[in-house]
Chain A
Amino acid sequence: MSGTAMLLETRGLSKNYGAVVALRSGDLSVQAGEIHALMGANGAGKSTLVKVLTGDVAPNAGVILMEGREVRFNSPASAREGGLASVYQDVSLVPVLTIAQNLRLTGTSMTALRPWLEELELEDVDLTEYARDLPTPTLHLLDLAQALASLPRLLILDEVTATLPADLSERVFRVARRWRSEGRSVVLISHRMTEVKALCDRATVLRDGATVGVVDLESSGQEEIVSLMLGPEAAEVVVSEGSVSDREAASSAERRPAVEVRGLRSGLVKDVSFTLHTGEVLGIVALEGQGQADLFECLSGNRRPEAGEILVQGKSRRFRHPHDAIGAGLVLVPADRALALLRQRSVRENIALPMVNRVIRWGLINSRVEHRRVKAAIDRLEIDTRAQSRVMRLSGGNQQKVTIARWLATGFTTLLCFDPTRGIDIRTKEQIYKVLRELAAAGSPVLIFTSELPEIQLACDRALVMFGGRIVAELPAHDATEAALLRAAHGLGRSAAAAAETA
Chain B
Amino acid sequence: MKVAAGKARAPQGPTFARFVRRNAWTLGTYALFLAVMGFTIAIHPDYGPYEVRSLVVGALPLAFCAVAQTCVVLGGGIDLSIGAMMAVANVLAAHYMLGRDFQTSVLIALLVLVGGTAAGGLNGVIALRTRVPDIVVTLAMSFVWGGVALLILPKPGGGAPDKFMELASGNIFTPWLPNGLILLIVIVAIIWIPVRFGRMGLALYAIGSDRTAAFRRGVRVGPTRVFSYALGGFFAACGGLALLMSTGIGSPLAGTIYTLSGVSAIVLGGVSLAGGKGGVTGPIVAAFVLTMVPADLILSGTDPNLGQVIQGCLIVLVVMAGGLAPLLRRRVARIQDEPVMSAG
Contact surface of A with B, Cβ cutoff 8 Å: 56, 75-77, 80, 88, 90-98, 100-107, 109-110, 126-128, 130, 267, 270, 503
Contact = CB atoms under 8 A, between A and B. Distances in A.
A96 B218 contact: no
Contact of A76 (B6, B10, B216, B277): B216
Interface in B288-303: none
Nearest to A270: B341
B202 A97 contact: yes
B202 A92 contact: no
A503 B210 CA distance: 39
Contact of B218 (A97, A101, A107, A126): A107
B151 interface: no
10 contacts: A76-B217, A76-B218, A92-B212, A92-B217, A94-B209, A94-B214, A97-B206, A104-B3, A104-B202, A127-B3
A338 B341 CA distance: 33
A210 B333 CA distance: 51
Contact of B10 (A90, A91, A96, A126): A126
Nearest to B209: A96
A305 to B, nearest CB: 13
B213 interface: yes
Contact of A126 (B7, B215, B216): B7
B213 A92 contact: yes
Interface string B25-42: 000000000000000000
B4 A100 contact: yes
Given A56-B216, A77-B218, A105-B217, A100 B209 contact: no
A296 to B, nearest CB: 18
B167 interface: no
B344 interface: yes
Contacts of B219: 105
A101 B3 CA distance: 8
A502 B212 CA distance: 45
Given A100-B3, A127-B3, A105 B202 contact: yes
Contacts of B129: none
8 cross-chain pairs, A with B, having the tightest CB-CB distances, nearest first: A77-B218, A100-B4, A96-B209, A92-B216, A96-B276, A94-B206, A92-B213, A105-B217
Q: Is chain A's binding surface mostly helix, strand, loop or mixed?
A: loop
Listed residue (A97, A104, A106, A127) with the most chain B CB atoms within 10 angstroms of its CB: A97
A98 to B, nearest CB: 7
A93 B205 CA distance: 12
Question: Which of B6, B210, B344 gathers the greatest number of chain A CB atoms within 10 Å?
Answer: B210
B1 interface: yes
Contacts of A77: 217-218
B8 interface: yes
A128 B214 contact: no
A220 to B, nearest CB: 35
Contacts of B212: 90, 92
A97 B9 CA distance: 19
A17 to B, nearest CB: 15
A59 B209 CA distance: 27
A100 B214 contact: no
A128 B4 contact: yes
Contacts of A270: 341
Interface string B210-245: 101111111110000000000000000000000000
Nearest to A88: B216
B131 interface: no
B317 to A, nearest CB: 25
Contacts of B206: 94, 96-97, 105
Nearest to B203: A105
Residue from B6, B10, B206 whose CB has the most chain A CB atoms within 10 Å: B206
Contacts of B210: 94-96
Nearest to B217: A105
A91 B3 contact: no
Given A76-B217, A130-B22, 7 more contacts: A91-B213, A92-B213, A96-B205, A101-B202, A106-B218, A126-B7, A126-B10
Contact of A93 (B202, B213, B344): B213
Given A96-B209, A128-B8, A503-B341, A104 B214 contact: no
A283 B9 CA distance: 42
B205 A97 contact: yes
A128 B10 CA distance: 10
B241 to A, nearest CB: 32
B217 A106 contact: yes
A76 B213 CA distance: 10
B274 to A, nearest CB: 10
Contacts of A128: 1, 4, 7-8, 10
Nearest to A93: B213
B277 A104 contact: no
A101 B208 CA distance: 15
Nearest to A98: B4
Given A75-B218, A127-B7, A267 B334 contact: yes
B10 A102 contact: no
A90 B215 CA distance: 13
Scoring B7, B8, B341 by chain A CB atoms within 10 A of each residue's CB, the highest score goes to B7
B233 to A, nearest CB: 24
B46 to A, nearest CB: 45
Contacts of B22: 130
B301 to A, nearest CB: 44
A45 to B, nearest CB: 19
Given A102-B217, A128-B8, A94 B3 contact: no
Interface in B248-280: 276-277
Contacts of A88: 216
Interface string B194-209: 0000010011011011
B10 to A, nearest CB: 6
Given A104-B202, A127-B4, A503-B344, A97 B215 contact: no
Contacts of A75: 215, 218, 220
Contacts of B6: 110
A95 B199 contact: no
Nearest to B212: A92
B207 to A, nearest CB: 9
A127 B1 CA distance: 10
A19 B208 CA distance: 30
Contacts of A101: 202
Given A105-B214, A105-B218, A270-B341, A94 B7 contact: no
A105 B217 CA distance: 6
Contacts of A109: 3
B209 A95 contact: yes
Interface in B1-58: 1, 3-4, 6-10, 22
Residue among A75, A96, A106, A267 with most chain B CB within 10 A: A96
